[in-house]
Amino acid sequence: MITIPIDDCNSFSQKTYDDFVFALQPHMLECKCGRCGGMIFYGRYKRHLKLLGSLLSLLIQRVRCIFCSRTHALLPSLIVPYSQVPREDQQDIIELNENGKSSAPVLERNCQIDESHVKHIIRRFKRYWKERLLALGLTLHDQLTQVCLSVYSLQFMQIHRTWNSFFSPPT
């Protein structure tokens, strides 16, 4: 997986994703094999995201390295791999819980999320991520995506140990 910085949940759509992805130059992406200049667009797959009270179906672009034949998904940074709940909502749920508050504001903002999601998110945070953040001296207010990807090769709240890297396009 290659995570690309798209953090604006309010106006995120398939068009936003497509515009950003197709503005990228795939030859600038680095593969897990360590080589640049060999990525080509290589199909898409459907992914669902519970965003702003609706279930958004996204077609996620894949790229393939011509040197080692590995494929990688181009995921926006608001997506946590293997989760339908956006990273921002997960961070808000965790922060509210850590402060002893109810998750009601997040549940009202995104009616696609229910109490079972909240419990699952809190349990995953406590089991996998709380100690990692403490070890790095980070809080939930820090820019966790880039730090977690550079230190752990995982998106914040990503549980599965699938390699993930951060790509920041040149401005």
Residues 61 and 98 grouped into a single domain: no
User: What percent of the chain shows pLDDT beyond 90?
Assistant: 64
Pair (78, 142) in one structural domain: no
Q: Are residue 77 and residue 6 in the same domain, yes or no?
A: yes
Structure confidence by residue, pLDDT tens digits, 68-81: 999 999 999 999 99
Q: How far apart are the two ends of the chain, measured CA to CA in Å?
A: 22
Does 36 fall in a domain?
Answer: yes
At 94-143, the pLDDT tens digits run 999 999 999 999 999 999 999 999 999 999 999 999 999 999 999 888 88
User: DSSP letters along 12-44, please?
Assistant: --HHHHHHHHHHS-GGGPBPTTS-BS-EEEEEE
Residues 6+ apart with CB under 8 A from 77: 3, 4, 5, 6, 7, 87, 145, 155, 166
Q: The whole model's pTM is what?
A: 0.88
Helix axes 115-124, 87-98, angle to 10 degrees: 80
Query: 29: domain range?
Result: 2-83
